[in-house]
Structure 1
Amino acid sequence: MSHDGVGLRAVTRSVAFLTAGVLAVPALAGCSEQDEAGRPTAGQDIAPAKRGQVADGGTVHWAVDNVPETLNTFQADADAVTSRVAGAVLPALYRLDANGRPRRNPDYLESAKVVDREPRQVVLYKLNQQAVWSDGREIGAADFAAQWRALSGKDTAYWTARNAGYDRIEKIERGASDLEVRVTFKKPYADWQSLFSPLYPKSVMGTPDAFNDSARRKLKISAGPFTVDTIDRESGDVTLKRNSRWWGHPAKLSELVLRAVPREKRAAALIGGRLDLAEIEASEAYRITSAGRDGKAGGGAPLTHGPGAALTPGKALRSWAIAHGSDEEAADEEITARKKRARAVAKYAGQQSSLRGFVVRKSLEPAFTQLALNGSEGPLADERVRRAVARALDRKELAQVVLKPLGLPAEPVGSHLALAGQHAYADSSGALGGQDTQEAQALLSDAGWVAGGPVKKEKKPKKAAGAEASKKAKKAKEADEADGGTYIVGRTDDKPTDGDEKDAKKTKKEKEKKEKHEKQEKWDGAGGVEEKRLAQEGKQQLRPGGAPGAYAPRGTAAPGGAAAGSTAAGPLAKNGKPLSLRFVLPSGPGSQSLRAVGERIARMLDRVGIRTEISKVTNESYFKDHIASGQYDLALYSWPASAFPATDARPIYSKPVPAADGSLNVEQNFTRVGTDQVDQLFDQAIAELDADESRSLVRKADARIWAAAGSIPLYQRPQLTAARPTLANAGAFGFETPAYEDMGYLKK
């Protein structure tokens, strides 16, 4: 699981004050008879076509992030690519529909139902009579039993990443025929439909050695519309071929090639013809749609973007005049600049011509981005401060920052445990309350944080130790710059603790300003105004929130100083310490939207007197070194939605407990915020076989998660996919499990 991970099963959501840590939310339980789940916020966009309209044969090159380390989805290093391969080549007894709800897969199951509840829960599976493995053997009870034993957790020789649900099974038996499988549970299990998807053959699950090794790099036996043909780690291709023993609708494609291409290189791969289908970032989506518009404008139409977009007729005339003027030095420089610009424009135009061969299909991912509040220590250990942070946020505005520029519905997510359209969804955010500046300030005041309160100044280091202190400061600065930089968003009423350092910075700044002015005069005198402007525009595009096609609107102001409309009298302080929170954000490619949202959040918090120290760190260290290890106060990352929240969401929100070695066992609860009541509701929901009552318990748990304010769901992540216009039944799938056998190119 990562801040970008998505999958069916992840590694595998006026203020009511708490009294003695218990919140009474009888009206927020979501237990009414009316279905509150509603419809998905956005539908899928896959260019649907009937199978008769799709041609037989052809190859689709589909971009993935990497070549999977293992093809066994139950191992710790399995990832989204592992799941994609499994979805095409292995049995899945249940698939997700367009609403994100599990549906029986008739290719494998004729029926499945609970036939006994007392004294034990018994589920009877009746298998499709034609279901066979690629070696010709029937799929049956032996495969179910082998997978249960491997994942039950009883034998530690199996290197399993999870065993949820399998640990509740008591036995598995053959039914009245070879096509029937009886599964008896020792404990009731509401999410029994989550089991045996994917289902592996007994040859993979039968022994620890086979489980640990045999399915890591190859999968000899499969039972899906495709089989694994080759895995080429040098080229980065995983090639799936049509399964000749597949009994369902035959795959339309001859081959499906999963090609490892990093996100930042996908535009080049599309231009080079190496990809037919690829999830892309907003900037690439903008380029593709712009290429289409330019193409429709007719030959010779000027580009409205790219390296030549800033050159207006007036600037072009000035450039021509300088290039043909009497100042030979200026003319030479301008001629060189014009040639360089012409080459860049020609190259970009050629790339845009190639991108006209693609369309952008868009929806919302079955995943949501949240603001995580680390409640293990510091100011956020106080529930009132966490609630104040939440009440300071305008979640609708934050959703619009990311989704509105893309033309996608900008609705805040109302649940930690499901998304709109899924069975368990209900908007329980009322348990915490919406944006309310006065309420946020009242909560902070109640917690002892006083606006404009005294702040103790740190002692100035002695001069004798000055050299050592300077050395340490230099090292700290270098380490911080390596991570991407740190800056403060908030008021600066409290004076700097080191006046000398301030004067030095001021002198340096004045010197730099003077040099810049002199350089400007020299530049203008040489006639390089246009090139300077182009360079400045290039720099402006790299600022968070300012890049064309980025999730934030153009012109988003950089944070700094007091925000407009601030209502707090000054920085908040308590016991001589200011209220300042470390906000960790990723700095790498593809994280522009998170940075834009993070900076907007910082300004919202500043309005109530909460300062934020924004630290930008590399994508590689973001989750491992900061989120998972608890080295943050505020952070943004995403969780995938699950059709089985009672099972899959429990480790994310369960109360951390001390481990035997004295450390804190947080499972996947990286906010370190949990309550006994939430744990009890999850336990009750997972054991409740009445589906409506189980959903009611899940919704009650969600209301209490909201009330604890350990994490604040913000918005569903956008899903943008570049695809060949003739490619059908593929694109932005939304919730629905891809029907790999139906993907293909339209008949001419």
Structure 2
Amino acid sequence: MLVSRTPRALLAVAVTVTASALLLSACGGSAGSSAPPPTKQIGQNDINPLARDQVKDGGVLQWGVQAYPANFNMLAIDASSGDIPPVIQSFEPTPAIADAAGNWNPDPDYVESFKLVSTDPQKVEYKLNPKAKWSDGTPITWEDYKSEWQALNGKNTAFQPLSTAGYASISTIDKGADDYAFTVTYSPKLAEWSNLFNVLYPKSLTSSPDEFNHGWKDQPKVTAGPFKIDNLDKTGNNVTVVPDPKWWGDKPKLDKIVFKYYSSANVEVDGLASGAFDFASVSSNIDAYKRTSAMKNVTLRRANLPNYREIVFNGAGNSILNDQKLRVAIIKGIDRDPIAKAEISQLIPNAKPLGNHIFLPGFDGYQDNSAGYLYNQDEAKKELDADGWTLASGAKFRSKNGKQLTIRDAISAGAKSSLDEAQLVQQQLAAIGVDLQIVQDDPNTFFDEHITPGDFDIANFAQMGDGAPPVNNAQSWFTTGDQALGNSGRIGDASINKLLDQASAELDQTKRFALLNEVDKQVWALGHSLPLYQRPSIVAVRNGLANFGNSGLASYDYTKIGWAK
């Protein structure tokens, strides 16, 4: 699952472990079944939950990943792959964890409590678990939290974080009665504060810009989780972790987790069939769905996440699409209906194009804001003409000032959904005189070497809702000068920045969601990106694997994952 983890994680391939806001069944699919899954309620997941005494001691989990960590500091800007968090969270602290409904709570292994004690000024009190220690024996204290905030708040531009979302709203972190208590004060207010510190690093990492940016590229220097590093195989792109005997919480059930590299969806599905992997992502991949449905001793597990496929535009100066009028015209030249039908109609017969970048149908806050930006070839042609991109007599493609209208569409090699979408868009844009060139890049370096640096005109992703609250997810449209953070296309403006700031500080959910919908309207107007369709969430899991599968919005408890007795 090659996922780019901006504040809203981006998926470059057709499959992933957790996927989609669609209302899908939590029950497993039987062998040979190919019917579309039934609907179910949002806020549930499908992980074969078993009590600890029903799980064997020992065993190995073979966990497929499609990218080796570019940086073991998952807060750094180059740690953009969505395959990094599952690896890191096995051996680093997770002070905030989510349940299946997306509610964030303290992880008792690290935090005894956090609670809002004042709204004006907004203050949150933390009480830490004094048993928690780093692997070098150093206690985990309030100073680690303060140092991480200072690295992520954006004030010291020498730090290069993936996102400052939420942390930039903290004004102070003050020590409490002892080293295991502190108070966080927010100014401006932050409605969605509870998911902050969902991973914690030692102050030895976060107090130094050079250490933060580069110090953990090769390996983690300190850990504090139920597992520890056993082997880093950079040649095979595999990471092996084993239980840490210094761990103070419940002993992990597994003897080992091997995060194993796979190059494509077919390779992962082949691995599930052969025993090389213990689960395979299916999502909207029809071939993978049919193959895994027919496998013996495999269960299809389904859950809900606010995920969708989209086309991202590059508005930076190095791209031909740095022209807002051109981007909007291109949007009107793309027919999303046949794209949705071609990709997921066998799983979701009534799939429709999306009308919102922030909220999805079935989730609070959704409204269709796409009016005025729908498929209309005639309007697209007129707007291209008006923008100076004209079609000369006998020419196949438009040009302006002697330059042909050629757009590079960057996709991840081996991603069937991306290639299918790109080819359909290529045909549609050719009909209005636009030359779309499809460029397939190495999936292992797709984000780090192409998307993050802005080496594309348009690109096909899936936006992966990871349980983060809407305001934090909406940071993908925040412009922050040279550090555009999660805004891959560098498209935004001061008005959107202001609305996001207002939404972030608005404690009333109705008002907050209204502000975010205004953001979405302006995102449409800027031609930031084009949402295509919601993605189903289906994962094929080997029978007997407990407390693992399709986690939905929930965090995994690595100590409970194992094989049923």
Report the TM range for the smaller structure's normalisation.
Answer: 0.7 to 0.9
Alignment counterpart, residue 412 of structure 1, candidates 353, 363, 379: 353
Which residue of 2 is the match for residue 48 of structure 1?
48
Q: Give the Cα–Cα distance (whole angstroms) in 1 for the partners of residues 405 and 214 of structure 2.
A: 49
Using the size of structure 1 for normalisation, the TM-score is 0.60
Change (3 A) 1:59 1:647: same
Deviation of the 1:285 alpha carbon: 1.9
Q: Distance in 1 between the 2:245 and 2:324 partners?
A: 59
Q: 1:344-743 to 2 correspondence within 5 Å?
A: 356-361=296-301, 367-374=307-314, 383=324, 386-406=327-347, 410-420=351-361, 425-436=365-376, 455=392, 494=394, 580-582=405-407, 584-586=409-411, 588-589=413-414, 591-605=415-429, 609-620=431-442, 634-641=458-465, 643-650=468-475, 652-654=476-478, 668-717=486-535, 719-743=537-561
C-alpha change, 1:284 and 1:689, in structure 2 (3 Å) is: same
CA separation in 1, counterparts of 2:219 and 2:452?
31
Aligned to 2:145: 144
Whole-angstrom distance in 2 between the partners of 1:597 and 1:725? 33
Q: Say if 2:162 and 2:485, in contact at 8 Å, map to a contact too.
A: no
- Mark the CA change 1:360 to 1:225 in structure 2 (over 3 Å): closer, same or farther: same
Change (3 A) 1:603 1:243: same
Q: For the residues of structure 2 that align with 1:403 and 1:243, how far apart are their CA atoms?
A: 43
Quick check: which has more Rg, 1 or 2? Answer: 1
Q: Which moved more, 1:178-187 or 1:593-602?
A: 178-187
Q: Hey, what does 2:291 align to over in structure 1?
A: 288
1:210 & 1:572 partners in 2: Cα distance?
A: 49
Check whether the contact 2:22–2:305 (CA below 8 A) recurs between aligned residues: no
Alignment CA distance shift 1:67-1:575 (3 Å): closer
| 2: CA distance, partners of 1:690 / 1:710 | 27
**Aligned residues of 1:64 and 1:278 also touching (Cα < 8 A):** no
In structure 2, what is the equivalent of residue 259 of structure 1? 260
Residue 4 of structure 2: aligned partner = 5
Q: Which residue of 1 aligns with 2:242?
A: 241
1:130, 1:247 within 8 Å by CA — same for their partners in 2? yes
Alignment of 1:69-218 (within 5 A): 69-78=70-79, 79-118=81-120, 120-128=121-129, 131-133=132-134, 138-153=139-154, 160-206=161-207, 211=212, 215-218=216-219
Matched to 2:413, the amino acid is G
Asked if structure 1 preserves the Cα contact closer than 8 Å seen for 2:2 and 2:82, the reply is: no
Asked if 1 retains the 8 angstrom alpha-carbon contact of 2:499 and 2:515, the reply is yes
Deviation at 1:611, TM superposition (A): 2.5
SS of 1:370's partner is: strand
Task: State the shift of 1:42 in Å.
Answer: 3.8
For 2:228, give the aligned amino acid: T
Answer yes or no: is the 8 Å Cα contact 2:320–2:407 preserved in 1.
no
Contact 1:99 1:421 in 2 (8 A): no
Residue type at the aligned position of 2:92 = L
Return the offset for 1:705.
1.0
Confirm or deny: 8 A CA contact 2:397 2:435 kept in the other structure. no
Distance 1:121 1:11 in 2: 32
Q: Percent identity?
A: 31
- Measure the CA separation in 2 of the matches of 1:209 and 1:671: 26
SS at match of 1:611: coil
Report if aligned partners of 1:90, 1:200 keep a CA contact under 8 Å in 2.
yes
TM-score by length of 2: 0.77
Q: What are the Cα deviations for residues 226-267 of structure 1, in whole angstroms up to 9, with x where unaligned?
A: 333333435544222234455555432222221223225434
Residue 610 (structure 1) shift? 0.8
Post-superposition offset of 1:182: 0.9
Counterpart contact for 1:428–1:702, Cα < 8 Å? no
Q: Residue 172 of structure 1: SS of its match in structure 2?
A: strand
State the Cα distance separating 1:186 from its structure 2 match: 4.9
In structure 2, relative to structure 1, the CA distance for the partners of 1:138 and 1:696 (3 Å cut) is: farther
| 1:714 positional shift | 0.8
CA RMSD of aligned residues (A): 4.2
User: Against the structure 1 CA distance between its residues 579 and 100, is the aligned structure 2 distance closer, same or farther, given a 3 Å change threshold?
Assistant: farther
Report the Cα offset of residue 604 of structure 1. 4.0
- Looking at secondary structure, tell me which structure has more helix per residue: 1
Larger RCO (alpha carbons 8 Å, 6+ apart): 2
* 1:65 matched residue in structure 2: 66
Deviation at 1:721, TM superposition (A): 3.6
| Residue identity in the other structure for 1:414 | G
CA distance in 2, matches of 1:612, 1:430: 22
| 8 Å Cα contact 2:159/2:212 also seen in 1 | yes
